């Protein structure tokens, strides 16, 4: 299908890039923040130091106070992907029900479609249900697809769209993903809108161009930003054990918020939650959560372990004022 084309047009990429013109940065520089220069030994697996990402440190200096730049509630989603059996999911749900979770966090889990009903009927109502994908329009003769209407009927409140595995394995392009997001929002589902660059994009210095192009596709299509959470997931960090350093993640999140401010509105930039995904776990979540533009996480493998997922949810406490 034409709508599933894997390539973006050159014109589309150019137009998105011209909507945001960051200052001339010299490259990724080490910050004077102690938490970035001297991360704890168990907190992060830093990515290859040869990678270069334009630095925002000249514009956004280190702060003594750790807080959220946005005004939205901390948000943590667990993407279970194509994992689990009835037995293992029963155990996972039991662990989540037993976990003590901070109350000031929106928590969502995304089981495989076939287990949504099982999870919905047994999971605490403190945690909402998300789907991992949805069709671009009303249901019908679309073999293998799941419609938004069906998801709502079974109790889902959210859907993950634009995940890199849908983009780069299944072949969904920006235009198609934007249309899917618009339809889901129009029908009353919240959207976890994923974006992120490939390793070759980052090495070529195209992180911002790629992320802005993907973000623009959502902006061009969606009717409102009221029920959207942006998930920045660098593809090179998904499932690899390599995690963006707090500085790397913060720089991209800050740039995304600036893009929203310049191209949508100040209000949307402030209210829209921008969460990080990419090998987030119980050991690195606290340092990442301290960054002011990181409003939560989209968690993969670690979300399949109830106690560890609870640790990630409770990393919201890292948003408190630093001594």
Digits of tens for pLDDT over the chain (323 positions)? 444 433 333 344 444 444 444 433 323 222 333 332 333 333 333 333 334 444 434 334 333 334 567 778 999 999 999 999 999 999 999 999 999 999 999 999 999 999 999 999 999 999 999 999 999 999 999 999 999 999 999 999 999 999 999 999 999 999 999 999 999 999 999 999 999 999 999 999 999 999 999 999 999 999 999 999 999 999 999 888 888 899 999 999 999 999 999 999 999 999 999 999 999 999 999 999 999 999 999 999 999 999 999 999 999 999 764 32
Residues 6+ apart with CB under 8 A from 175: 3, 217
The rounded Cα 25 to chain-centroid distance in angstroms is 25
Whole-number Å distance between alpha carbons of 234 and 268: 23
163 is catalytic: yes
Q: Give me the pLDDT at residue 24, please.
A: 35
DSSP state of 46: B
Given a contact cutoff of 8 angstroms between Cβ atoms, the answer to whether 237 and 288 are in contact is no
Beta strands in 22-115 (DSSP E): 74-79, 105-110
Q: Give me the pLDDT at residue 21, please.
A: 43
What spatial distance separates the first Cα and last Cα of the chain, rounded to whole Å?
Answer: 55
Please identify which of the residues 163, 253, 287, 292 carries the catalytic annotation. Answer: 163
Given a contact cutoff of 8 angstroms between Cβ atoms, the answer to whether 176 and 167 are in contact is no
Please identify which of the residues 172, 197, 233, 308 carries the catalytic annotation. Answer: 233
């Amino acid at each position: 299908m034409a709508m599933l084309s894997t390539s973006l047009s050159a014109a589309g990429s150019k137009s998105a890039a011209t909507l945001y013109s960051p200052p001339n940065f010299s490259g990724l520089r080490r910050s004077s923040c102690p938490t970035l220069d001297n991360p704890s030994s168990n907190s992060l697996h830093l990515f290859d130091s040869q990678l270069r990402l334009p630095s925002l440190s000249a514009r956004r200096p280190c702060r003594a106070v750790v807080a959220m730049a946005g005004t939205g509630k901390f948000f943590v989603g667990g993407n279970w992907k194509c994992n689990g059996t009835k037995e293992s999911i029963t155990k996972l749900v039991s662990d989540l029900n037993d976990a003590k979770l901070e109350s000031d966090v929106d928590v969502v889990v995304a089981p495989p479609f076939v287990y949504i009903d099982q999870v919905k009927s047994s999971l605490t109502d403190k945690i909402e249900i998300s789907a991992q994908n949805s069709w671009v329009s009303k249901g019908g003769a679309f073999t293998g697809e799941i419609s938004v209407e069906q998801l709502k009927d079974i109790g889902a409140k959210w859907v993950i769209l634009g995940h890199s595995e849908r983009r780069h394995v299944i072949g969904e392009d920006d235009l198609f993903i934007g249309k899917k997001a618009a339809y889901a929002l129009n029908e009353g589902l919240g959207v976890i809108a994923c974006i992120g660059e490939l390793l070759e994009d980052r090495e070529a210095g195209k992180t911002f161009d790629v992320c802005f192009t993907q973000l623009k596709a959502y902006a061009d299509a969606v009717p409102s930003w009221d029920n959207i959470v942006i998930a920045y997931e660098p593809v090179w960090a998904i499932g690899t054990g390599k995690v963006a350093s707090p500085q790397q993640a913060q720089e991209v999140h800050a740039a995304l918020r600036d893009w929203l401010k310049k191209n949508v509105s100040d209000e949307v930039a402030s209210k829209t939650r921008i969460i990080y995904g990419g090998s987030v776990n119980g050991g690195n979540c606290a340092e990442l959560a301290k960054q002011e533009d990181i409003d939560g996480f989209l968690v993969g493998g670690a979300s399949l372990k109830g106690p560890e997922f609870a640790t990630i949810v409770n990393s919201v406490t890292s948003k408190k004022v630093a001594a």
